[in-house]
Amino acid sequence: MTAFAAFLGDKVERYIELRRSLGYAFNKQAGTLRAFVRYVERSQLGAPATRTMALDFVLSFGDTANSRAVRHGVLRRFYEYLAVYDPQTEALERRAFSRSRAIPPPRILSEAELASLIDACSFISPGIPLRGRTTATLIGLLASTGLRSGEVARLDRGDVDLTNGVVIVRKTKFRKDRLVPVHQTTQAALRRYARERDAVFPKPKGEAFFLSSRGCRLSATGLQSNFAKARKLAGLDNGKPLRPHDLRHRFAVTRLRLWHQQRADVQALLPLLATYLGHASYSDTAYYLTGSSDLLAIAAERAFLDGGAA
């Protein structure tokens, strides 16, 4: 390792430790900074840390506009810290990369499409059946609870009460824990997966509930990869892209659609749904009201009928 890369690596680790001591999870940011150190080493770059160095690193990913802006922002704040130890460090421009504020609309799967996606999981890796079973169970849990994919991947065995049908979600997006009751069918699917998982790995390497084919915790990368394979096998790659997070949207939209059809007081029930989903405010949950055209149609029809009744 070059002297500059070694110096940079030491400061990165100290910076990560500092941010975590302040209460930040700092996982993705740490990954970006460590990747930057590897880039500097691989490219045999010398001191000081420059704007060009940061720009070339960010552009080497060829990612979306938002991803580039996020990575550059992580580096910009680290450069400010690094300048304390190396005054020659160049300050990075705050708006070197513009962010796109357009949020891609979610793809709301029909019941038939969701069933097709889950069925396709068994064909992901026929030689390693547990991989398909893990993906199918995980997709079913996402669809039936609205959990975030990261929350599901972080679940430990002790977080899943297979007897009472309750999942404990720890360290959520807003660093709070919450209890998520699950339906009996979901509870049964989780029990079935646990039996198959334990039959393959009777001596687990850790406490993770969802395992990779190697018996370790299923990583975010592994989750995304398996999801993409199942999506392709199910014939869902055409048209609007499908992401794991879309299953969270689907859960919220389905619940809101049902409440509208039942003529329930949706505004009064939104705080309950917000708590279940782990939102900081029920106004965040209200965003899902615009999640699908049929939901808007139901809401509009109800508003018309209620207005006529008045």
Mean pLDDT over 55-77 rounds to 86
Say how many Å lie between the first and final Cα of the chain, rounded: 76
Query: What residues pair up with 217 in beta bridges, in sequence order?
Result: 211
Q: Quick check: is 229 catalytic?
A: no
d(CA 134, CA 211): 7
In the prediction, which pLDDT does 50 show?
Answer: 94
- Annotated active-site residue in 248, 250, 255, 257: 248
**3-class secondary-structure state, position 181:** strand
- Annotated active-site residue in 14, 171, 173, 240: 173
Mean pLDDT over 37-56 rounds to 93
- Annotated active-site residue in 39, 193, 276, 288: 288
139 against 307, higher pLDDT: 139
In the prediction, which pLDDT does 13 show?
Answer: 96
Mean pLDDT of the chain: 85
d(CA 36, CA 43): 10
Q: Quick check: is 279 catalytic?
A: yes
Residue 243 gets the label, from left (phi > 0), alpha (psi -120 to 50) or beta, of: beta
96: confidence class by pLDDT, cuts 50, 70, 90: confident
- Annotated active-site residue in 20, 245, 263, 287: 245
91: confidence class by pLDDT, cuts 50, 70, 90: very high
In this structure, the chain runs to a length of 310
- Annotated active-site residue in 19, 72, 133, 148: 148
In the prediction, which pLDDT does 222 show?
Answer: 92
Q: What values do phi and psi take at 191, rounded to 5? A: -65, -45
Exposure string for 203-222, b = 16+ CB within 10 A, e = fewer: eeeeebbbbbbeeebbeeeb
Q: Quick check: is 101 catalytic?
A: no
Neighbour-count burial of 273, counting CB atoms closer than 10 A to its CB (0-12 exposed, 13-18 middle, 19+ buried): buried
Q: Quick check: is 245 catalytic?
A: yes
Residue 265 has pLDDT above 80, yes or no: no
In the prediction, which pLDDT does 310 show?
Answer: 39
In the prediction, which pLDDT does 289 show?
Answer: 53
1 against 51, higher pLDDT: 51
Q: Quick check: is 39 catalytic?
A: no
Q: Quick check: is 79 catalytic?
A: no
